[in-house]
């Protein structure tokens, strides 16, 4: 998750080793970050409930992908609480994936697949997912990669499938924080198309915007939360 109040104001070009630097940062600050996110759980879970209300009722099978799962708490855990759900959870950080593996005990174990790595490299079959969730994760991609990611999500979703993602509200070609959360190893990067730009990119990916809300987070940063649907075939 990103606190937008601490970002640099000048535009920053994404470094060539962006993903390696983000991974190193999240590996280094994982315990501090996970503690810091606790006050934000209510916002995450509120929007997750909005999504879950639109998915088939338990125990109907459903396949869900979470982008940027962190340690798996509370979102992955809540997804697994839904009987019939199969969850694929991805994160760039090996430290976070290890924490998620230790924290989550799905029954049966085959309901959860944890994948470490860049979300853009995920190999997901087309039209195979009922929902994709990306909370405070897509914002770490350079803007053009955000567009590519939305295209991937649209391709992966089944007709009638749902996407829940949040974006920054500011237009930013790129910004950084060199010691995010007060951590010397906490270098962080974000970018964004702004509210109207992000909504336009979602629509250009072929998804229908159902809910769009600007919500103030626990850190007083604003995020655009978008629930979108892939049209029926």
Predicted TM-score (pTM) of the model is 0.94
pLDDT tens readout for residues 104-155:
999 898 999 999 999 999 999 999 999 999 999 999 999 999 999 999 999 9
CA-nearest of 198, 119, 133, 124 to 161 is 133
Predicted local distance difference test score (pLDDT) of residue 10: 64
* pLDDT band at 3; cut points 50, 70, 90: very low
| 18 membership: H or E segment, kind and range | helix 18-36
Identify which has the larger pLDDT, 229 or 233.
229
Average pLDDT over residues 160-184: 95
Burial of 59 (0-12, 13-18, 19+ CB in 10 A): exposed
CA–CA separation, 72 vs 92, rounded Å? 13
CA–CA separation, 1 vs 93, rounded Å? 13
Predicted local distance difference test score (pLDDT) of residue 129: 99
CA–CA separation, 1 vs 7, rounded Å? 13
Predicted local distance difference test score (pLDDT) of residue 6: 47
| 85 membership: H or E segment, kind and range | strand 85-91
pLDDT tens readout for residues 55-83:
998 899 999 999 999 999 999 999 999 99
Average pLDDT over residues 33-46: 92
Predicted local distance difference test score (pLDDT) of residue 220: 67
How many CB atoms are located within 10 Å of the residue 36 CB?
Answer: 17
Burial of 94 (0-12, 13-18, 19+ CB in 10 A): middle
Which CATH number describes the domain made up of 4-229? 3.40.50.150
Kindly report the average pLDDT of the chain as a whole number: 94
What is the dihedral angle through the alpha carbons of 177, 182, 184, 186, rounded to the nearest 10 degrees?
-50
Domain boundaries, the chain: 4-229
């Amino acid at each position: 998750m990103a606190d937008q109040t601490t970002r640099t104001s000048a535009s920053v070009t994404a470094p060539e080793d962006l993903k390696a630097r983000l991974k190193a940062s999240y590996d280094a600050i994982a315990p501090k970050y996970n503690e810091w996110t606790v006050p934000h759980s209510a916002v995450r879970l509120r929007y997750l409930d909005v999504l879950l209300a639109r998915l088939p009722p338990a125990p109907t099978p459903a396949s869900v992908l979470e982008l940027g799962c962190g340690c798996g708490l509370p979102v992955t855990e809540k997804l697994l609480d839904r009987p019939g759900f199969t969850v694929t959870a991805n994160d760039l950080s090996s430290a976070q994936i290890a924490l998620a593996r230790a924290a989550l005990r799905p029954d049966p174990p085959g309901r959860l697949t944890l994948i470490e790595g860049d979300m853009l490299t995920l190999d997901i079959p087309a039209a195979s997912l009922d929902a994709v969730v990306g909370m405070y994760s897509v914002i770490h991609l350079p803007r053009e990669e955000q567009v590519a990611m939305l295209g991937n999500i649209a391709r992966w979703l089944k007709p009638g499938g749902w996407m829940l993602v949040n974006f920054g509200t500011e237009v930013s070609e790129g910004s950084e924080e060199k010691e995010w959360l007060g951590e010397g190893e906490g270098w962080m990067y974000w970018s964004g198309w702004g509210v109207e730009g992000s909504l336009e990119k979602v629509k250009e990916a072929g998804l229908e915007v159902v809910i769009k809300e600007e919500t103030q987070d626990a850190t007083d940063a604003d995020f655009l939360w978008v629930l979108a649907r892939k049209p029926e075939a």
